Amino acid sequence: MNIEIFNPFAYQFFQNAILGGIIVALVCGLVGLFLILKKEAMLGDGLSHTAFGGIALGLLLGINPLITALAVSVLAVFAISYMRRKKIAPSDSSVAVMLAIGFSTGLIIISLTGGFNIDLFSYLFGSILTISFSDLLLVSILGAIVLLFICIFHRELLSMVFDEESARIIGIPTKRFTILFDLLIAITIVLSIKVIGTILVVALLVIPGLCALKLNLSFKKTLLATTLFSTLSTTIGIILSAIFNIVTAGFIVFILATAFLLTITYKKLE
Amino acid sequence: MQNDMPVLEIKDLNVQRNGVAVIENATLTINRGDYVGIVGPNGGGKTSLLSAALGFLPYTGGSIRLFGVELASFSLWDKVAYISQHATNFEDQFPLTVRELVSLGCIQKGKLGRRFTQKDWQVVDSNLDFMGLSDVADRRIGQLSGGQKQRVFVAKALAHNPELILLDEPIVGVDSNAQERFYKKLSDLNVERKITILVVTHDLASVFCRMSKVMCVNKTVELAGITPELDANLLLKRAYGEHFHFVYHRHDCTGVFVNEH
């Protein structure tokens, strides 16, 4: 009997997917960890839903929707930051308002252009297996920028997240760093759209960091554990989705959730 | 630097919080090497005074000079360390070891993003040692006792070699033995490293036994050198009110502190 084992690694599209997936997982995990420590995890969710408006706009205008999503996310994160700083609304409410504005704008545009289609569907739920070369290039460049920034300035970011006042005294330009970090979040969201889609981005942002935090490690080891959780879940998710032909985002989040359950069970038993 | 060089000069300072005056016409000078206890009733403006001196809280009148430079143009912030009253209120789950936290004190203005060298880690370890924290260096900060947490923040402050340390009520929730040891450590820093220290505290005995000056803050500010001639009771009554009575004899100080000679 001749059994043919499906080996996805033999295909270029699959290699691209794994590469893109790993970059996005690294970026999401690390940025997400800082977001959790800042207690602003839902900022990621709010921005990704706002980015939906940008995607719709891109589809309407015939521009790469990732570019328009990036523009809208950057605008949104600055708007949220502004509302917070000027005390127009508390942090979580500012996020809720931007989420609503972005998503509703997206809905109006979609209705105007004749409703939902496959293209839009792929941005809502991700389509890493069909990532184009140009999108992979965009993901790699933006991902490298975010990773480089975090590698160089992780201590400054940590110091700010831990205690902003004393960080400022020590000489960290906290306002500028906050703006830069906001920019990084917006970029991260847009990167993740291709992999996991706007709806579930928050899972890839939050769950890896949360799992790592449960292990009570040092900061350095927490960073490492976060990247392990995010890259492994994403890689396994992509492989399973290629084999079973099921939406990748669903698998990735399912594995992340399982990892989270296993971590808390392990801590309970310990 | 000379001993009598002013580290902090405040003239006719007025500070408001939400439109209400919290400091009125404060004038004082802190010299290099002073060890000052800042006392006064709750809500009297102690934290507001420190916040204004650090530029966190805008002031409505008067002037503040740090190391001889007007606050607005002061830039040598690496000479100043500040430990806020919220410093020890972090979440116990925060993923940071004692050594990692203290190393954050090595971040230098103008050299952001640099890689830490072996020398940085030596500075970290020697300050951990000085503050008696070597044994717990690899423990997570959430696992420390109240007294250890305070010492960690001082060690972090020391890592960037400051000339002035401002501590805002760092003693909440710490037993009296640990508290005394803590003020003794600060005293060592003051004497051995010539660091000027301003500490907001409710521990009057420690102030009058250990420190060189006392600053009473209750909207108005009064600074006095602690000398045998000082009538502490009279001074404190002006800040706390007529009903206040503080019994203090200088000879009581002997033996108050652990490890006192």
Percent of chain A with pLDDT over 70: 97
Question: What range defines the domain where residue A82 resides?
Answer: 11-269
DSSP B21: E
In a domain, A259, yes or no: yes
Which of B54, B77, B95 shows the shortest C-beta gap to A219? Answer: B95
In a domain, A5, yes or no: no
pLDDT at B120: 92
Q: How confident is the model at residue B102 (pLDDT cuts 50, 70, 90)?
A: very high
Q: Which residues of A touch B54 (CB under 8 A)?
A: 169
Which of B86, B104, B108 shows the shortest C-beta gap to A158? Answer: B104
CATH class assigned to B6-253:
alpha beta
Residue B90 at interface with chain A, using a CB cutoff of 8 Å: yes
Tell me the residue ranges of DSSP E strands in chain B.
6-17, 20-31, 35-39, 59-66, 69-70, 80-83, 164-168, 196-200, 213-218, 220-225
In a domain, A4, yes or no: no
Q: What pTM did the predictor assign?
A: 0.87
Other C-beta atoms lying within 10 Å of the C-beta of residue A128: 31
Average pLDDT over residues A16-35: 95
Is the ipTM here above 0.90? no
Q: Residue A270 in 3-state DSSP? A: coil
Which of B82, B86, B112 shows the shortest C-beta gap to A169? Answer: B82
Report the CATH number that the domain containing residue A125 is assigned in CATH.
Answer: 1.10.3470.10
**Domain map (residue ranges) of chain B:** 6-253
Closest listed residue to residue A158, CA positions, set A24, A29, A33, A25: A33
Count, residues in chain B? 261
In a domain, A3, yes or no: no
Q: Give A1: exposed, middle or buried? Use CB within 10 Å, 0-12, 13-18, 19+.
A: exposed
For A163-218, where are the alpha helices, taking DSSP H only?
A: 164-170, 174-214
Helix-strand-coil percent breakdown of chain B, rounded to 5?
35, 25, 40
Q: Is residue B13 within 8 Å of B64, Cβ to Cβ?
A: yes
pLDDT at B1: 47
A4 pLDDT higher than 60:
yes
State the angle between helix axes of A219-244 and A248-269 in degrees (0 to 180), rounded to the nearest 10.
140
In a domain, A18, yes or no: yes
Q: Which residues of A touch B100 (CB under 8 A)?
A: 218-220
**CA quadruple A256, A257, A261, A267: dihedral, nearest 10:** 40
pLDDT at A3: 60
Residues of A with CB under 8 A from a CB of B: 37, 152-153, 155-156, 158-159, 162-163, 165-166, 169-172, 212-213, 216-220, 222
B257 pLDDT higher than 50:
no
Which among A81-85, A99-103, B239-243 has the top mean pLDDT? A99-103
Question: What is d(CA B158, CA B178) in angstroms, rounded to the nearest whole number?
Answer: 20
B260 pLDDT higher than 80:
no
Average pLDDT over residues A48-61: 91
- Of residues B203 and A210, the one with the higher pLDDT is A210
pLDDT at B202: 85
Domain count, chain A: 1
pLDDT at B15: 93
